[in-house]
A and B are shown apart, each in its own frame.
Chain A
Amino acid sequence: SQQGEEDPQALSIQEGENATMNCSYKTSINNLQWYRQNSGRGLVHLILIRSNEREKHSGRLRVTLDTSKKSSSLLITASRAADTASYFCATDRSSSNDYKLSFGAGTTVTVRA
């Protein structure tokens, strides 16, 4: 079963605008990661935020984590056409022997030129 759920399922924005997507998960985690997938390709890691962190930045990406609400958000600022892709959050579980990442169904982002 998938641990994370992204919201919205799809997002269409104009180039230059910001895109925000959210992820909710069910169990306690060690870290949460965001990945991007272009159509027909594998996933590419974007950013990892640990359970003791609240916010992290990487270039035009900003990720927040609220462990009390079991939720995270990914903000892409000043979007570009090349940002058109599906974005997935992925979580592990904080039980000691569970190393696999569970992915949500993703948010499909379309950036219009």
Chain B
Amino acid sequence: DTGVSQDPRHKITKRGQNVTFRCDPISEHNRLYWYRQTLGQGPEFLTYFQNEAQLEKSRLLSDRFSAERPKGSFSTLEIQRTEQGDSAMYLCASSLARTGRTNEKLFFGSGTQLSVL
């Protein structure tokens, strides 16, 4: 257990439905990342937050995807009007970034496996 929690672990939905995932990072971590992973591939960056500010969003992320991190604590990732191509593992990770230091290690949650039928 890395200390990063994701909920739910599995989500099955029908095409066109909206889904929302939650991530609870390690409490003192100021950076939070969302990645997507499909079978046989490495994690693909979606977006990240420093505290409550969303600092970067992948160009691959369509307008149907939105993420929030209110108060710099937990984060939610919402996918609207799901498509079959959205089926993947959605991974959340957090890290503690110190001023003047580059990236330190990421702590990943166990992921939410999304299946769109």
A42 to B105 alpha-carbon distance, docked (Å): 14
Number of interface residues, chain A, beta carbon within 8 A: 24
Q: List 9 A-B contacts (CB under 8 A).
A: A31-B103, A33-B106, A35-B108, A41-B111, A42-B111, A43-B108, A99-B50, A99-B55, A103-B35
Contact partner, B45, options A31, A40, A102, A106, Cβ 8 Å = A102
Residues of A that sit less than 8 Å from B by CB: 2, 4, 30-31, 33, 35, 40-45, 48, 88, 90, 92, 99-106
B40 partner residues in chain A, CB cutoff 8 A: 105
- Could you tell me if B31 and A99 are in contact, using CB atoms closer than 8 angstroms? yes
Q: Given A2-B44, A42-B110, A106-B42, answer yes or no on A101-B103 (Cβ-Cβ < 8 Å).
A: yes
Interface size on B, residues (CB 8 A): 30
CA distance A48 to B103 in the complex (A): 10
Smallest Cβ distance from B91 to chain A, in angstroms?
A: 6
Does A99 contact B41, Cβ atoms closer than 8 Å? no
Known: A42-B93, A43-B43, A45-B105. 14 other contacts (CB 8 A): A30-B102, A31-B102, A33-B105, A41-B110, A42-B91, A44-B2, A48-B105, A92-B102, A99-B50, A99-B102, A100-B48, A103-B44, A105-B41, A105-B42
Cβ of B107 under 8 Å from chain A: yes
Residues of A close to B45: CB separation below 8 A: 100-102
Taking a contact as CB atoms under 8 Å apart, the answer to whether A100 and B33 are in contact is yes
Structural contact, A88 and B2, CB atoms closer than 8 A? no
CB B67 to nearest CB in A, in angstroms, measures: 14
Contact across chains for B111 and A88 when beta carbons are under 8 A apart: no
